[in-house]
Structure 1
Amino acid sequence: MTDLGPVAWPPEPIRTERLVLRAPESRDRPAFVELLASPQVHTYLGGARPRDQIERETPGTPEQWPGSFVAELDGSMIGHVLLRRPARHRPAAMGKIDLGYLFLPRAWGHGYAAEACFAALDWLDNALPGEAVVLATQTANTASMRLAGKLGFVEVERFHAWDADQWLGLRPPRRP
């Protein structure tokens, strides 16, 4: 993961109809461990790592870097939205900002991921106008594929990596 660029971080919390997006805090650590250890969350991400390993490796305040948003519902973390500019990526995605998201299984099916991603992308459009955004997901992850379409991503390429077929989408630059 590398720097987003010249953004003020952390931003003021972003409030949507049901959620708050904010920078990670120490109180989020148990939810991060749960998220990273969940076999369901990691079905299309190569599988979960052992919980004891995650407990040992997770810092007191996880994922503290610009573009790392906790999605909070009623005062509790339910997910993580990430905006980052990876140092390595597919050629079609190099230099572009990558959108990622992970939500706890209990938050699935309620539209929270879409709500949180739309809010994070709106923040990005204002913080760094004119940036294109990419999103990669396994083609087998139909929920993620639907979300990518809803967010305005269009297919750029399909490729095979990590023993699975992958999809790369692009969201063209937007101006505030």
Structure 2
Amino acid sequence: MTEPSPAPWPPAPISTERLVLRASEARDRAAFIELFASPEVGVHVGGSRPREELERAVPEVPGRRHGLFVAERDGAMIGMITLDRRAPERPGHVRPEGGEAELGYLFLPEAWGHGYATEACTAVLGWFAGALPGEPVVLCTQTANGRAMRLATRLGFTEVERFEEYGAAQWFGSWSAGGPVFTTP
């Protein structure tokens, strides 16, 4: 998470049926660049960045921060899951003071459609519920992103509100431990 938290970081790697969720390593640099340069991914996050810019800007060990999990399949990074504190000045909160943990994820396009995001997010939410019991998690996505809306539902997020942000209609939901969580087959 972007601010200090009582949860130890990084946690031990989390293994699921098909993935390992772990802290970032130097070997992930090329995949981070590919992820942020991808036009397909960029559609959902405000645009892709030029590869040349990323080659200069991405550190040797990218994403090395509290709350970022690399999703690895067969020894290679295929995406990332983040838990960051939602800024109090942004719309969408379940606490008056804001600062809730916000789930985010990005996967390389070749990993889409295989259930990896569901599997990874389910595991991260389970870890979070054990590390910070009772803490809510929020998720915000464009209403136009049907895949993300379906994933939010499968993960057990409940709609709190809708609003306009970044020039697009947004869906905002909340999750808490004990609610329904989809498990992958």
Q: After TM superposition, is the score higher than 0.5?
A: yes
TM-score w.r.t. length of structure 1: 0.94
* Structure 2: 5+ residue stretches without partners: 180-185
- Cα distance in 2 between the residues matched to 1:70 and 1:2: 16
User: Are residues 1:97 and 2:101 paired?
Assistant: yes
1:2 CA drift (Å):
2.5
**Equivalent position amino acid for 2:20 in 1:** V
- Cα distance in 2 between the residues matched to 1:79 and 1:96: 23
TM-score w.r.t. length of structure 2: 0.90
The 5-angstrom pairing of residues 76-87 of structure 1 reads 76-87=76-87
* Structure 1: 5+ residue stretches without partners: none
Q: Which residue of 2 aligns with 1:51?
A: 51
- Cα distance in 1 between the residues matched to 2:86 and 2:2: 5
**Equivalent position amino acid for 2:65 in 1:** W
User: Are residues 1:61 and 2:61 paired?
Assistant: yes
1:10 CA drift (Å):
1.1
1:49 CA drift (Å):
1.3
Question: Cα RMSD (Å) of the superposition?
Answer: 1.5
1:90 CA drift (Å):
2.0
User: Are residues 1:130 and 2:131 paired?
Assistant: no
2:169 corresponds, among 157, 165, 171, to 165
Distance 1:144 1:91, change over 3 A: closer
Identical positions, percent:
57
Say whether the 8 Å CA contact 2:92–2:161 is kept in structure 1. no
Distance 1:4 1:158, change over 3 A: farther
**Equivalent position amino acid for 1:133 in 2:** V
Distance 1:104 1:95, change over 3 A: same
1:11 CA drift (Å):
1.1
1:142-176: CA deviation from partner (whole Å, max 9, x where unpaired): 0000000000001111111111111111113549x
1:107 corresponds, among 106, 111, 128, to 111
- Cα distance in 1 between the residues matched to 2:118 and 2:175: 14
Say whether the 8 Å CA contact 1:2–1:87 is kept in structure 2. no
- Cα distance in 1 between the residues matched to 2:105 and 2:175: 16
